[in-house]
């Protein structure tokens, strides 16, 4: 399938497994240069080997880490020159009871909203 994305650039967070990995592979197959972001370097390295070529550049980063958005932005711009597509996929859902402590709610919001906002802004 040709989605008309050849020569575009993308950043995909949560690219080591699941949907993020599939998106990174799919974009690379369409001719997109991808910075694949995840915490687990060994899984990113496997992804690069599976795809082959130079279409995926791995970046080991926890999106919850301090200054992660700025570090990711700087790396992506250095590697890609520009970012056409951003897939904010890192994170996940953890069941939280309604009476969970605020610290658990704060963590869930930071992972699934605040980190995405920071990355998009950077």
Q: Which helix (H) or strand (E) holds 37?
A: strand 33-38
Q: What is the pLDDT of residues 59-80, one digit of tens each?
A: 999 998 889 999 999 999 999 9
Residue 92 pLDDT > 80, yes or no? no
Tell me 32's DSSP state.
-
Coil/strand/helix, residue 101: coil
CA distance 101 to 117: 23
Could you tell me the pTM of the whole model? 0.89
Of 69, 70, 108, 74, give the one whose Cα is nearest residue 91. 108
Q: Strands 85-87, 56-60: parallel, antiparallel or unpaired by DSSP?
A: unpaired
């Amino acid at each position: 399938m040709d989605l008309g994305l050849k020569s575009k650039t993308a950043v995909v967070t949560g690219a080591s497994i699941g949907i993020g990995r599939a998106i990174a592979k799919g974009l690379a197959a369409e001719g997109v240069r991808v910075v694949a972001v995840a915490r687990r370097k060994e899984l990113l390295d496997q992804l690069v080997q599976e795809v082959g070529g130079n279409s995926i550049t791995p970046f080991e980063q926890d999106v919850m880490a301090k200054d992660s958005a700025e570090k990711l932005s700087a790396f992506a711009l250095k590697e890609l020159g520009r970012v056409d597509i951003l897939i904010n996929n890192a994170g996940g859902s953890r069941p939280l009871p309604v009476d969970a402590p605020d610290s658990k709610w704060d963590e869930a919001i930071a992972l699934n909203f605040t980190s995405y906002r920071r990355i998009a802004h950077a």
